[in-house]
Amino acid sequence: MVPPIYRYRPLPSPAAIRLLELKNGPAKEPLHCALKAFDPTEAPPYHALSYTWGSPLGSFSQKVSRPRIKRLSIFCDDRRLLVTPNLHDALRHLRTEETASRAADAKYFWIDAVCVNQKDILERNSQVARMSSTFLGAQSVIAWLGPEDQFTTDGIALIEKISSIPETLWQSVSYTDFFDIKWHEKVGIPMVTYTDWLGFLALIDRSWFHRAWVVQEMALAESVTLVCGSQRLDWTKLDKTLGFISSRKWYHHLTTEKVRHIAAVQRYPGVYTGFLQSRTSYNLAATTLASTRRFNKLRRTQKAPSFLKNLIYMHRHTEATDPRDKVYAFLGLSDMETASQRMRVRPIVADYALPVQEVYSNAATNLLLSSGNLGLLSQVQDASRTKITGLPSWVPDFSATLYPYPLLYRGNGRWSAGSGLFWRREPLALRKDRLLPAQGSCVDTVEEVALLPKESVNSAGYWAGIVNLALQLPSWYPFSSADYDSAQSRVEALWRTLTANTYLRQYPAPASCGQLFLDYVLNLQIRHTLTPWSQSDGFIPHQTQSSFDEVDVSPSDMASATQDRRIVPAWYDLLEAEPAGSPYSLDSYRVRMADVVERMLRSTYAPVELAQLQHDLDMTSGDARRVFRTKGGLLGAGPRSLRPGDEVWVLAGALVPHVLREVGGGRGTHSLVGECYVHGYMHGTHGRLHNSTGVVDVVLE
């Protein structure tokens, strides 16, 4: 006879918690446990389990062969309790360890999915509100990453090696040493192979690192043990490894797209053949998780404040089964109640009865009022990435991926486009129509936009559009700034725009970055020239860049084909048009070209230094932001969804410019398209702000 389904009994008091007592037993027998309620002051010692509800493995892991089952049964107080397959695996592992240790005393665990009645909204609200104290009361946190896969051994080996490097020796390793197979000799550790790095990439890309609730669970834990199948790892080792990678900025190199081109990996890919095609990048979620844990330990000793907005912004990339948890998961770590009292703002409380649109709108209003500025607007994702419908344009969809990172995270400069303008926040608390009152100045109107790389036939077409925008600028860029001793030419304005004038986190970017940009252009030209030749065809002298004009197209496609004949970037015209004495003139370019070609002939040319420039370009332009030109001759990079006719505004209380779109109907309202970089309007009050429309009221809906 099949046992009945487990039914939860109400907790004896709002402060009570349930703990799971896991029974010992043979490995192949069903799991048996008991759920017991305790007052926290009388609870026995317990451990908290941190895990992911969904699949813990990556897409390329060799999974255990079994049917796709959403729930499996365990026996709780002789009744069936349904749990996810990953939790079932974790409990089996925990029972195996307990049975092997022959523990005489019962061992208790707190596990969210079973210790909280997920179907009781009132209990769920109450338990979420006190979850921080639940984790603080645990002896330790066990982080279950899932079973081992074919990458685990390499990933653990990498952590063991890197974590053994003394911090005093980190500085002896350079940014480019990543590509030197013997760099390990500088710090006295065993050789680190590229397959070790790939295993590490796969390990930290597991689902556990992406969970929103993990942030609180790790930040509050006294000690953390990472468990991956039969392998155990102390969190401090992973923390040191992440610290080393961050200090050397090696996360720029840690992508499968870069590692797969290394000769040693191409010769012996081993188990990584499929993984190398996965476009997996270094998971910054692991780094921000470690950073929050370190900060939380520090603030508990020094009583430093922890703001909800910082937690939500920093961990925006995390995932949650319930989108409301992208707000609720961070409440227990913040000093929100104290801040709300100080700012006279109603604090946010977990309420799973509210629709997600209301949760996000309430959170956005709270963050705006408590901060006293419009920094929240930089957290609004591009419209193409929005998941939750029905949100005002100024309310971030916290469940959506925020890409690229806000401009405020770029470099160490003082971002202050709206310097001297203060947002009047009082009306917001009174409005019930979901409109955001603001004040600002319309700087200019977008006249022309460039294609994104994925919208062009190839990367040459993308660069052709950008060069065309630059050619339409005046000879000298139309702004004056205290940041520069002299005016800027078209090419200088272009590369400073494409990098947000930031290189190696320096603002303004040093002149050496401009010379590096010339090398980058040379590399682009080489690639664009050779692209038509496939590796299998060898040398085909009659196939040139203009061969695109000879491609057969249907009459319906003729218009777009004619447009795409501008596929060859007019670099020659741009460089030739540089003013006399410009360091970016055609003559200067020819000198650098000769130097590069000679180094290529001597086999000494290795453009590793371009990796940092590529990173800075990727953060401001490329697929991240659309390059545009305004009617007034300004150059910028803004949201992917911007279009001609959109307006560039400097808003009071916002440190970067924003793109607004006038909403039809004659109501005088605008929708927010997103933040943007406009060269000359990012730092201080310089530029042409005095030529704008003046500070006026504007309403965002």
d(CA 206, CA 211) in angstroms, rounded, equals 10
What is the enclosing helix (H) or strand (E) of 19?
A: strand 17-22
Phi, then psi, of 59 in degrees rounded to 5: -65, -25
The pLDDT mean for the chain works out to: 86
Single out the residue of 53, 241, 237, 230 nearest to residue 152, CA to CA.
230
Confidence of residue 500 (pLDDT cuts 50, 70, 90): very high
Residue 224 near residue 141, CB atoms below 8 Å: yes
Mean pLDDT of 104-117: 87
d(CA 270, CA 178) in angstroms, rounded, equals 20
Phi, then psi, of 678 in degrees rounded to 5: -120, 120
5: which DSSP letter? Answer: B
- Per-domain residue ranges for the chain? 17-139, 152-289, 442-531+560-700
Per-residue model confidence (pLDDT) at position 98? 65
Model confidence, pTM: 0.88
pLDDT tops 60 at residue 61: yes
pLDDT tops 80 at residue 303: no
- Residues whose CB falls within 8 Å of the CB of residue 587, separated by 6 or more in sequence, listed in order: none
Q: Is 128 exposed, middle or buried (CB count within 10 Å of its CB: 0-12, 13-18, 19+)?
A: buried
412: which DSSP letter? Answer: S
**Residue carrying the six token digits 């703001």:** 307
By DSSP bridging, strand 231-234 and strand 224-228 are antiparallel
Q: What angle do CA 235, 241, 246 make, to 5 degrees?
A: 125
Count of Cβ atoms closer than 10 Å to residue 191 Cβ: 11
Query: Mind listing the pLDDT tens digit for each residue in 231-266?
Result: 999 999 999 999 999 999 999 899 998 899 899 999
Per-residue model confidence (pLDDT) at position 26? 82
pLDDT tops 80 at residue 532: no
Single out the residue of 163, 141, 137, 144 nearest to residue 236, CA to CA.
163
Strands (E), 588-680: 626-630, 635-638, 647-651, 658-662, 669-675, 677-678
pLDDT tops 50 at residue 556: no
pLDDT tops 80 at residue 420: no
Single out the residue of 681, 651, 662 nearest to residue 368, CA to CA.
651
Mean pLDDT of 391-419: 86
Per-residue model confidence (pLDDT) at position 99? 59
Q: What are the residue ranges of helices labelled H in 142-248?
A: 152-162, 184-187, 194-204, 212-220, 235-248
Q: Quote the tokens at residue 534.
A: 């496939």
Measure the N-to-C terminal CA separation of the chain; round to a whole number of Å: 59
Q: Is 493 exposed, middle or buried (CB count within 10 Å of its CB: 0-12, 13-18, 19+)?
A: buried
Query: Mind listing the pLDDT tens digit for each residue in 672-684?
Result: 999 999 998 765 4
By DSSP bridging, strand 224-228 and strand 677-678 are unpaired
Per-residue model confidence (pLDDT) at position 617? 92
Mean pLDDT of 90-95: 92
Cα-based distances in Å from 262 to 77, 152, 178, 193, 217: 56, 21, 11, 11, 38
357 against 700, higher pLDDT: 357
Count of Cβ atoms closer than 10 Å to residue 599 Cβ: 13
Q: Quote the tokens at residue 590.
A: 């020819």
**Residue carrying the six token digits 């509210």:** 354
Least confident of 97-101, 117-121, 588-592: 97-101
Confidence of residue 101 (pLDDT cuts 50, 70, 90): low
pLDDT tops 90 at residue 66: no
Residue 637 near residue 622, CB atoms below 8 Å: no
Least confident of 66-70, 124-128, 147-151, 445-449: 66-70
Q: Quote the tokens at residue 21.
A: 């007592």
Single out the residue of 293, 320, 513, 336 nearest to residue 400, CA to CA.
320
Single out the residue of 91, 135, 87 nearest to residue 113, CA to CA.
87
**What is the arrangement of strands in the sheet containing 32-38, beginning at the earlier edge strand?**
79-83, 72-76, 32-38, 17-22, 108-110, 46-50, 141-146, 224-228, 231-234
Query: Mind listing the pLDDT tens digit for each residue in 112-137?
Result: 999 999 999 999 999 999 999 999 99
Mean pLDDT of 544-566: 43
d(CA 274, CA 562) in angstroms, rounded, equals 39
Question: Exposure string (b/e) for 294-322, b if CB count within 10 Å is 16 or more?
Answer: ebbeeeeeeeeebbbbebbbbbbbbbbee
Percent above pLDDT 90 for the chain: 59
Mean pLDDT of 366-373: 89
The CA-based dihedral angle spanning residues 84, 88, 90, 95, taken in that order and rounded to the nearest 10 degrees:
160
**What is the distance of C-alpha 24 from the center of its chain?**
42
Confidence of residue 559 (pLDDT cuts 50, 70, 90): very low
Q: Is 274 exposed, middle or buried (CB count within 10 Å of its CB: 0-12, 13-18, 19+)?
A: exposed
d(CA 618, CA 177) in angstroms, rounded, equals 22
Mean pLDDT of 620-629: 94
Per-residue model confidence (pLDDT) at position 254? 94
List of long-range contacts for 351-354, beta carbons under 8 Å, 24+ apart: 351/125, 352/121, 352/124, 352/125, 352/322, 352/324, 353/121, 354/324
349: which DSSP letter? Answer: -
Single out the residue of 369, 360, 364, 311 nearest to residue 340, CA to CA.
369
Longest dimension (CA), the chain: 92
- DSSP of 243-267: HHHHHHTGGGT-BHHHHTTSHHHHH
Residue 165 near residue 189, CB atoms below 8 Å: yes
Per-residue model confidence (pLDDT) at position 370? 86
Confidence of residue 504 (pLDDT cuts 50, 70, 90): confident
**Residue carrying the six token digits 């501008």:** 566
Confidence of residue 97 (pLDDT cuts 50, 70, 90): confident
- Residues whose CB falls within 8 Å of the CB of residue 665, separated by 6 or more in sequence, listed in order: none
Per residue, what are the HEC states of 20-68?
EEECCCCCCCCCEEEEEEECHHHCCCEEEEECCCCCCCCCCCCCCCCCC
Single out the residue of 52, 41, 48 nearest to residue 20, CA to CA.
48
Phi, then psi, of 73 in degrees rounded to 5: -95, 140
Residue 476 near residue 579, CB atoms below 8 Å: yes
Q: What angle do CA 91, 96, 100 make, to 5 degrees?
A: 150
- DSSP of 105-164: S--EEE-HHHHS-TT-HHHHHHHHHTHHHHHHTSS-EEEEEES--TTHHHHHHHHHHHTT
- In a 3-state reduction of DSSP, which class is residue 192? coil
d(CA 544, CA 466) in angstroms, rounded, equals 22
